[in-house]
């Protein structure tokens, strides 16, 4: 399912849309030189917005226990947590009685939702999902549907599956973390509701890149991670309908999740508190809320236009390199355009994955980092079924991803580095170390504050 791209080259420069912490960070090359870091790995973890870092610097002196403290700093921290909750709900167009539950990240939020699906209720999901929106359902024995060769056929297959079998929940991604392709969430919500099912959208990739409103789209549940939304301080959310969440047993049994505890029985809290046992991550919540506010000032159309310009520039450059194949799940995804936001100018977010013929993806990623100071992701992107479906080898692909801090200079550097690789090869030698490619005798020191270099790699990478 790879295809050669026909794209129009653009020479206009694109600047960053918002300032991020770490822009222009000097990083060492194996040659001994130093260059500004080209961060093209936003889809894994995006840099913090400067406004987020400043907000946290303001909040940190007041950091104290929340909900149960009588002290002034506790009152400030409690207000900060609860106002952050409301702010995130507003940003996501939550309905009046929707809950905003703080979690650690999207994975945690989806596991919480899986825990709250009413007993006996079945969940339908696609095989193109990130593992976070696949494993909680697979573990429950839910129903997986293979995505068809086109989006239209996939939507028809989903409708047929929902019509054939009573289903409690359809769980889908809003945008693919492998290809960046958007799914038509409003249309999917209508399909689910026609057959009495609810819909949950994994917005880990969607929300940082496009505006999404629960109210306008009809989506019942939405999950996301702060660290992908320019707020890397360890908070995520599950937002959505109250009834399932209030009826389910507490997700984390412990302090804060209760009204009254006896040695024999407990009166559990309802609302977000029921599933937020233990001390909440107030700074993570505040960071996420501040990032939402900042993105809201930019607006959905500007976000989409900025990424679209960068994506087109990258695709135009890659189209000139016949050794490179860009990954797509569906070729007909233009029908998704405009579903999420009427002002959306393209059908994909700023995520482009590709392979280089004859080159191991991890080797290319190591080369880009060591010789050009460019950060990309390689491997199978925690989407093993999709990567197999795309017919890729076990090393997977290379993924370039960008967002509000990215510029056309970042994209041009990636293209120049790939051209050099294909014309002249690498100038350093690389070897496999614990399953990951690394420069032989890597001379780049890790700064002291981080401690010694770690070779531990995620099993999701190129395994």
- Whose structure tokens read 């990954």? 327
Distance CA 52, CA 50 (A): 5
Binding-residue total with ligand PLP (CB under 6 A): 13
Query: Is residue 105 a contact residue for ligand PLP (CB under 6 A)?
Result: yes
Distance CA 127, CA 123 (A): 13
Q: How far is the CB of 455 from ligand PLP (least distance, A)?
A: 21
Q: How far is the CB of 176 from ligand PLP (least distance, A)?
A: 7
Q: How far is the CB of 173 from ligand PLP (least distance, A)?
A: 5
The gap between the terminal CA atoms of the chain, to the nearest Å, is 21
Q: Is 424 helix (H, G, I), strand (E, B) or coil?
A: helix
286: Cβ contacts below 8 Å, ≥ 6 apart: 55, 56, 59, 80, 81, 84
If the CB atoms of residues 317 and 350 are measured against ligand PLP, the closer one turns out to be: 350
Q: Based on DSSP, count helices (H) and strands (E) in the chain, helices before strands.
A: 13, 20
Distance CA 76, CA 64 (A): 8
Angle between helices 408-424 and 361-372 (to 10 degrees): 110
Q: Taking the CA of residue 338 as centre, how many other CA atoms within 13 Å lie in the half-sphere pointing to its CB?
A: 3
| Per-residue contact flags (x/-) with ligand PLP for residues 107 to 146, judged by CB under 6 A | x----------------------x-xx-------------
Distance CA 443, CA 392 (A): 32
Annotation marks residue 382 as catalytic: yes
Question: How many beta carbons lie within 10 A of that of residue 372, not counting itself?
Answer: 19
| Per-residue contact flags (x/-) with ligand PLP for residues 312 to 351, judged by CB under 6 A | ----------------------------------------
Among 78, 154, 167, 173, binds ligand PLP (CB under 6 A): 173
* Cβ atoms of residues 366 and 427 within 8 Å: no
Query: Is residue 225 a contact residue for ligand PLP (CB under 6 A)?
Result: yes
Q: How far is the CB of 132 from ligand PLP (least distance, A)?
A: 4
| The token pair that represents 102 in the structure block | 């703080």
Query: Is residue 407 a contact residue for ligand PLP (CB under 6 A)?
Result: no
If the CB atoms of residues 223 and 392 are measured against ligand PLP, the closer one turns out to be: 223
Q: How far is the CB of 178 from ligand PLP (least distance, A)?
A: 9
Among 111, 154, 177, 353, binds ligand PLP (CB under 6 A): 177
Residues 201-220 that bind ligand PLP (CB under 6 A): 202, 204-205
Helix (H) or strand (E) holding 397: strand 397-401
If the CB atoms of residues 133 and 353 are measured against ligand PLP, the closer one turns out to be: 133
* Residues carrying an active site annotation: 382
Positions in the binding site for ligand PLP (CB under 6 A): 105-107, 130, 132-133, 173, 177, 202, 204-205, 225, 227
């Amino acid at each position: 399912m790879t295809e050669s791209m026909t794209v129009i080259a653009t020479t206009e420069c694109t600047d960053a849309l918002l300032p991020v912490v770490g822009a222009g960070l000097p990083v060492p090359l194996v040659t001994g030189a130093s260059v500004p870091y080209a961060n093209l790995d936003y889809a894994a973890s995006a840099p913090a917005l400067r406004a987020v870092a400043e907000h946290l610097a303001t909040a940190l002196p007041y950091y104290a226990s929340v909900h149960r403290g009588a002290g002034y700093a506790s009152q400030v921290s409690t207000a900060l947590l609860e106002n952050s909750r409301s702010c995130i709900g507003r940003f996501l167009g939550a309905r009046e009685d929707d809950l905003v539950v703080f979690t650690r990240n999207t994975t945690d939020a989806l596991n919480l939702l899986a825990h709250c699906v009413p007993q006996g209720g079945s969940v339908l999901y696609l095989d193109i999902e990130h593992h976070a929106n696949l494993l909680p359902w697979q573990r429950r024995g839910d129903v997986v549907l293979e995505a068809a060769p086109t989006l239209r056929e996939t939507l028809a297959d989903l409708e047929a599956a929902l019509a054939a079998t009573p289903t409690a929940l359809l769980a889908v991604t809003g945008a693919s973390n492998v290809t960046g392709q958007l799914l038509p969430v409003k249309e999917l919500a209508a399909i689910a509701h026609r057959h009495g099912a609810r819909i949950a959208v994994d917005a880990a990739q969607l929300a940082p890149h496009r505006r999404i409103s629960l109210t306008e789209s009809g989506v019942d549940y939405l999950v996301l991670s702060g660290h992908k939304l320019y707020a890397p301080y360890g908070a995520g959310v599950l937002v959505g309908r109250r009834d399932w969440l209030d009826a389910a047993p507490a997700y984390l049994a412990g302090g804060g999740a209760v009204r009254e505890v006896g040695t024999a029985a407990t009166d559990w809290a309802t609302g977000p508190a029921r599933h937020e046992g233990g001390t909440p991550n107030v700074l993570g919540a505040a960071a996420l809320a501040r990032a939402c506010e900042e993105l809201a000032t930019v607006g959905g159309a500007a976000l989409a236009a900025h990424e679209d310009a960068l994506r087109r520039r990258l695709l135009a450059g890659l189209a000139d390199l016949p050794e490179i194949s860009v990954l797509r799940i569906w070729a007909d995804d233009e029908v998704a355009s405009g579903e999420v936001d009427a002002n959306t100018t393209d059908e994909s977010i700023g995520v482009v994955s590709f392979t280089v013929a004859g080159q191991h993806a991890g080797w290319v990623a190591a080369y880009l980092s060591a010789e050009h100071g460019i950060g990309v992701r390689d491997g199978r992107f925690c989407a093993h079924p999709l990567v197999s479906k795309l017919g890729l080898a076990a090393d997977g692909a290379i993924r370039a991803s960008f967002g509000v801090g990215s510029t056309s200079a970042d994209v041009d550097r990636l293209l120049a580095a790939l051209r050099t690789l294909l014309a002249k090869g690498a100038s350093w030698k690389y070897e496999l170390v614990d399953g990951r490619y690394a420069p032989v005798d890597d001379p780049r020191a890790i700064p002291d504050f981080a401690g010694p270099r770690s070779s531990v790699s995620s099993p999701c990478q190129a395994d």
